[in-house]
Amino acid sequence: MEKQVKRIGILTSGGDAPGMNAVIRSVVRSATTRGIECVGIRRGYSGLISGDVIRLDSDSVSRIINRGGTMLYTARCEEFMTEMGQSKAAATCKQFGLDGIVAVGGDGTFRGLLALSKHGVSVVGIPATIDNDISCTDYCLGYDTAANTAVEAIDRLRDTMQSHERCSVVEVMGHRAGHLALYVGLATSATAVLIPEKEFDFEKDVVENIIKARLGGRTHFMIIVAEGAGSAVEIGDKIREELALDTRVTILGHIQRGGSPSARDRVTAASMGYEAVKVLAEGKTNRVIRSVSGKFDNIDIAEALNMKKGLDQEQYEVLEGITGIYH
């Protein structure tokens, strides 16, 4: 039997990701269908502490499914890391009669939910990060869009690199995780991919790969660097010095966070938002919505936070098998 839930809140926290607006829309419309009121909490946990709350309905979330960013804004909140801040946030939930909170973000967002739940608030998390590094789920909102944005940019760079017979070093996001860099490297047939999970040897992993590509007849080269693996500028300088190549460095930066979400991210957002409302309506709490083998379910937040996610070893093998130069 479903719990009598009258009103829920939704917030977005941490780094933004394409698809956040689509999941806000899904949560609001799924709640409305069940007769549940929905409010938006602006600026993440900071807004939950201050009471920065707006009413949301089907009309207010119309025409946002195709928009990047988040209409509720996002922020990191140091005050919420304190017991006093968490108590204030819980008090806001009581003040506005919120029977549950849906928070969209990454591991930090989920830790915040876990802390909030200790004050008696029902909570559900939805994974959204372009790094795709949340351990409990195969897929995080925003990853596909960010990858396609990077691939399109790199394809454009390849055109000009080929015309001038240059080497291009491209830095993509991924401070602690190389999922995006590896995926994009595979999609663009990169000469080398450098990621934070694997300490690289410049001579072996970069210089030798470029030399092998040269011997194979290639006159332009593409090096993909995750931001946490090292300085793309320094790597570009070393390539120029050691191989006398005309090298250009491009840092894609926050362009990867923006833009209209892909079809995959829109559909994933719809499914995850629906599942989040369903979980709260069923009286469950401390859950994270996840995607496993193409199916959506939910897992305990504490259990989710204790899981570890490794890189896709099959992608390594495929990249090596296709290019014949990856180590």
Residues with a known catalytic role: 131
- Total Cβ atoms within 10 A of residue 265: 28
Report yes or no: 146 and 207 within 8 Å, Cβ to Cβ: no
| Per-position DSSP letters for 221-275, written without gaps between them | EEEEEETTT--HHHHHHHHHHHH---EEEEE-GGGGT-SPPPHHHHHHHHHHHHH
Burial of 202 (0-12, 13-18, 19+ CB in 10 A): middle
- Classified as helix, coil or strand, 128 is strand
Give the whole-angstrom CA distance, residue 87 versus residue 64: 32
Q: Please compute Rg for the chain using Cα positions.
A: 22
Whole-angstrom distance, CA of residue 38 vs CA of residue 29 = 9
Exposed/middle/buried for 50, CB within 10 Å: 0-12, 13-18, 19+?
middle
